[in-house]
């Protein structure tokens, strides 16, 4: 059944792939996002690289906001359609850096939109504060003026707009090659799938992470749900740290192997909430490890501060002892 499903999925993708991304989205130009921040992206060079400026409308510092440089690149394979891209902004008025990644879309009405997600890294004075140094967020940008208008306004040469888009140096794969590749991928997955996850990793028990925080996960019920407690060793508040309740679930498809899972911690000593997601692994020596990523949501008093309310981070947990021990 798995092999048949993978084959049909690959076949469907191969049949519809040529029809994707018929509309062209061009990064070059002036954009504004949902917070009122604006950025200007210059013409792409032959490698798909670009530079520009970013003028943010929000800041977590008390310094005067200044226009800041950005530099990035567009994925060359998608140059003629709806490309993915990424760029870095080094803020001129603070010691923070933000990276953006996203995709340029064209809707049915021909409107161009940049859907982006960002990570804002703030400098901290001590490595012990590293855990709270990165925020995460989402911004949607819409175009203010076209690439042609941007080029004319900047006094650029009167080259056609498409000349600013890099040409893919190699030859794009044919539809037949794409279908064959997808079929072979599906076949390979079908052949190796039974060998995955031979070792069993069990969530239940006491775990400690790289910061010294510990958590206890109780037994799973028949729906693969669990409860427990989390005792963090770090906090952004001045209040006394208290053990806090957690609740979550394990993916039941992988119950007997190396499962994925997620859980929520509602902190007893603050009005913040953290969600974790990850996977339970067993290495060649039989050591169990939880690889997790988390989002910490802090409460803010005004919706205008929503953009800075979420932090992101990574924790690795190792087992201290089984619950029955």
Mean pLDDT of 301-305: 88
Whether the per-residue pLDDT at 139 is higher than 60: the answer is yes
Q: How far apart are CA 285 and CA 259, in angstroms?
A: 18
Percent of residues, the chain, with pLDDT higher than 70 = 73
76-122: pLDDT as tens digits: 764 557 888 999 999 999 989 999 999 999 988 899 999 999 999 99
Instruction: Report the greatest alpha carbon distance in the chain.
Output: 75
- Backbone dihedral angles phi then psi of residue 196, each to the nearest 5 degrees: -75, 155
Q: How far apart are CA 325 and CA 312, in angstroms?
A: 33
DSSP type of residue 109: T
CA-nearest of 54, 53, 104, 42 to 75 is 104
The mean-pLDDT minimum among 14-18, 146-150, 156-160 falls in 156-160
278 in Cβ contact with 259 (< 8 Å): no
Tokens (6 digits) for 22: 């018929």
Q: Beta partners for 206?
A: 216, 321
268 in Cβ contact with 259 (< 8 Å): no
């Amino acid at each position: 059944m798995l092999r048949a499903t993978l084959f049909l999925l690959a076949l469907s993708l191969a049949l519809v792939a040529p029809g994707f991304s018929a509309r062209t989205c061009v990064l070059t130009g002036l954009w504004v996002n949902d917070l009122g921040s604006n950025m200007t992206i210059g013409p792409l060079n032959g490698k798909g690289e670009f530079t520009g400026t970013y003028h943010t409308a929000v800041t977590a510092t008390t310094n005067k906001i200044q226009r800041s440089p950005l530099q990035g690149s567009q994925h060359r394979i998608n140059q003629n359609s709806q490309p993915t891209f990424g760029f870095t902004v080094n803020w001129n008025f603070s010691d923070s850096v933000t990276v953006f990644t996203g995709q340029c879309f064209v809707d049915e009405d021909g409107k161009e939109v940049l859907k982006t997600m960002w990570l804002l890294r703030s400098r901290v004075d001590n490595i012990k504060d590293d855990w709270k140094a990165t925020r995460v967020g989402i911004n949607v940008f819409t175009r203010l003026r076209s690439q042609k208008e941007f080029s004319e306004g900047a006094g650029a040469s009167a080259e056609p707009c498409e000349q600013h888009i890099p040409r893919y140096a190699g030859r794009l794969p044919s539809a037949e090659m794409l279908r064959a590749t997808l079929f072979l991928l599906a076949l390979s997955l079908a052949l190796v799938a039974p060998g995955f996850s031979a070792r069993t990793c069990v969530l239940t028990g006491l775990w400690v992470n790289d910061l010294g925080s510990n958590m206890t996960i109780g037994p799973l019920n028949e729906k693969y749900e669990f409860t427990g407690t989390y005792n963090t060793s770090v906090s952004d508040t001045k209040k006394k740290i208290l053990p806090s309740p957690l609740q979550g679930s394990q993916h039941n498809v992988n119950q007997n192997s190396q499962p994925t899972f997620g859980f929520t911690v509602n902190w007893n000593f603050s009005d913040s909430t953290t969600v974790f997601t990850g996977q339970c692994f067993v290495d060649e020596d039989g050591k169990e490890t939880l690889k997790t990523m988390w989002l910490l949501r802090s409460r803010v008093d005004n919706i205008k501060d929503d953009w800075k309310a979420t932090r992101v981070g990574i924790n690795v947990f190792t087992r201290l002892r089984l619950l029955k021990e």
